[in-house]
Structure 1
Amino acid sequence: MTRTPASIRRTCLCLAAAAGAVLLSAGPAAAHVEVEADKAQALAENVTLTFNAESESDKAGITSLRVVLPEGIVPADVTYADGPKGWTFGATADGYTVKGPAVAVGEDAEYSVRVRQLPDAKELVFKTLQGYGDGRVDRWIELGASDGHGHGNSAPVLKLEKAAPGATVKSPTPTASPTPSAPARPAPAPSPSNSTATGAAVESGGLSAGGWTALGATALVVVAAAAYLLRRRSRAS
């Protein structure tokens, strides 16, 4: 029996749909990181945030959670409250990391921190990198719907109610000042570990803006060289 192009096209579509259904049914269950607050209200003070990171690996346990803080919250305003046994807390240039011995394979990692004051916002986004004992990293850093496969998925978001009447922004967290006997040292030059560079690396999957610029320049050189060679060959012929 001779098959027409239309029938062949329909068969291909059916096979693709069947293959997609098989892949979806065989894939891992959707996982994500969630955040809750005991006072989910703008300008609320001394708020406890609880994060629950679901495991998406059947081979290794979760060992770390690296968080980039939203605008309006600085690392100095965050303190550790509770977490998995043996885990520790450490501030970074643009957020913090909680890490320690791997939790049991397939087990969620839950921890909580206290924030001095929430900013005056409608929602807060906490971009998170979830590390496992085998080196795997799930990047919960996107804004929008998640596709449920851990790599480049939605960041945890905390919705906030309007600030209470009369609530105001408190003064910034005090920082150490130089002693009168010693002149203040000039601020160090920006480094790749500062907030802007770290945030860019997280959003681009680890490649900084400088790296993308270098790649772009290299691509332009390659294109120019190829065009030059083509012109020479056309003239020769």
Structure 2
Amino acid sequence: MSRITLPRAARRLPLAVAAATTAVLLAAVPAAAHVEVESPGAQALAENVRLTFVAESESATAGITELRVVLPKGIEPADVTYGEGPTGWSFTATTDGYSVKGPAVKAGEDVELSVVVRQLPDAKELAFKTLQTYGDGKVDRWIELGGSGDGHDHGHGNPAPVLKLKAAAPGARTVSPSPSAPASTSAAPTPTAEETPVDPSPQAADTAKEDDGGLSGGAWAGIAAAVLVAVAAAVFLVRRRGAAQE
């Protein structure tokens, strides 16, 4: 029985299927994780404003244990009180902002917490540099300023979360300065986000490498597995059609 030679188009089918599958998967994969700050309707000089921070996890093996926030100009640590957050987490004022930490949440789980600010400054937007720590010691450093200014990473860098503010209400005024925070609520002096090296440890360096790629290692592994399955399926179909023609 003579062997049937498949048309060139059929021989190229597996490659075409693999390319198409990869394109679809890449388009469907979400952007790299980041930290967001939200406060619907927030406006300059508003008082007693609740800010909600959402920190997305970038680790499938370790849970988040702490968020340390550096406050923007115009907000003092004494102006901030704790709202709510993960079970067992506690709030501590620092020299340049505050820290909320506690037992590690489940690996891969995002963290949401809120604070109340006595009064927002008269500004168009506020950047909250944030250090996100995991139970294994890794640190995601969301401290970069500039770029698009919308608080999102767009696949590059580690942008600080940014809160856009509406213009101040007519007649709004700056309230009197807040009293100094009690010594019992202040943490020992810690380096600010600007003073802390971007890669203080091998773990942090590993995190930075993942950030540069725009996708986590788990996401790339999933894409590779899906492509291999698609190629295998395409090869099987081509061989089955060839056998049917013999």
TM-score normalised by structure 2 residue count: 0.61
Shift of 1:147: 5.1
8 Å contact kept, 1:140–1:155: yes
Per-residue deviation, residues 172-215 of structure 1 (Å, max 9, x unmatched) = 012489xxxxxxxxxxxxxx937xx524314x4278xxxxxxxx
Seen in structure 2, the aligned counterparts of structure 1 residues 173 and 31 have a Cα distance that, compared at 3 Å, is: same
Matched, 1:163 2:163: no
How far, CA to CA, are the matches of 1:201 and 1:28 in structure 2? Answer: 31
How far, CA to CA, are the matches of 1:148 and 1:64 in structure 2? Answer: 24
User: What's the counterpart of residue 201 of structure 1?
Assistant: 195
SS at 1:114 equivalent: strand
Q: What pairs up with 1:176-187 in 2 under 5 angstroms?
A: none
Seen in structure 2, the aligned counterparts of structure 1 residues 206 and 97 have a Cα distance that, compared at 3 Å, is: farther
User: What's the counterpart of residue 79 of structure 1?
Assistant: 81
The one-letter code of the counterpart of 1:65 is L
Shift of 1:37: 1.3
How far, CA to CA, are the matches of 1:142 and 1:167 in structure 2? Answer: 31
8 Å contact kept, 2:41–2:166: no
How far, CA to CA, are the matches of 2:31 and 2:60 in structure 1? Answer: 11
Seen in structure 2, the aligned counterparts of structure 1 residues 102 and 28 have a Cα distance that, compared at 3 Å, is: farther
Per-residue deviation, residues 82-116 of structure 1 (Å, max 9, x unmatched) = 00000000011000010001111111100000000
SS at 1:81 equivalent: strand
Shift of 1:30: 1.2
User: What's the counterpart of residue 10 of structure 1?
Assistant: none
Q: CA RMSD in A?
A: 2.7
User: What's the counterpart of residue 112 of structure 1?
Assistant: 114
SS at 1:167 equivalent: coil
8 Å contact kept, 1:39–1:47: no
Structure 2: segments with no counterpart, 5+ residues: 1-18, 183-187, 201-246
8 Å contact kept, 1:62–1:102: yes
SS at 2:194 equivalent: helix
How far, CA to CA, are the matches of 1:139 and 1:113 in structure 2? Answer: 20
How far, CA to CA, are the matches of 1:69 and 1:98 in structure 2? Answer: 13
User: What's the counterpart of residue 217 of structure 1?
Assistant: none
Matched, 1:173 2:167: no
How far, CA to CA, are the matches of 2:180 and 2:86 in structure 1? Answer: 30
Q: What pairs up with 1:5-44 in 2 under 5 angstroms?
A: 25=26, 29-44=31-46
8 Å contact kept, 2:66–2:101: yes
Matched, 1:54 2:56: yes
SS at 1:201 equivalent: coil
Shift of 1:33: 0.6
The one-letter code of the counterpart of 2:189 is S
Aligned residue pairs total 167
How far, CA to CA, are the matches of 2:92 and 2:100 in structure 1? Answer: 6
Which of 128, 133, 138 matches 2:140? 138
User: What's the counterpart of residue 63 of structure 1?
Assistant: 65
Shift of 1:148: 4.0
SS at 2:83 equivalent: strand
TM-score normalised by structure 1 residue count: 0.64
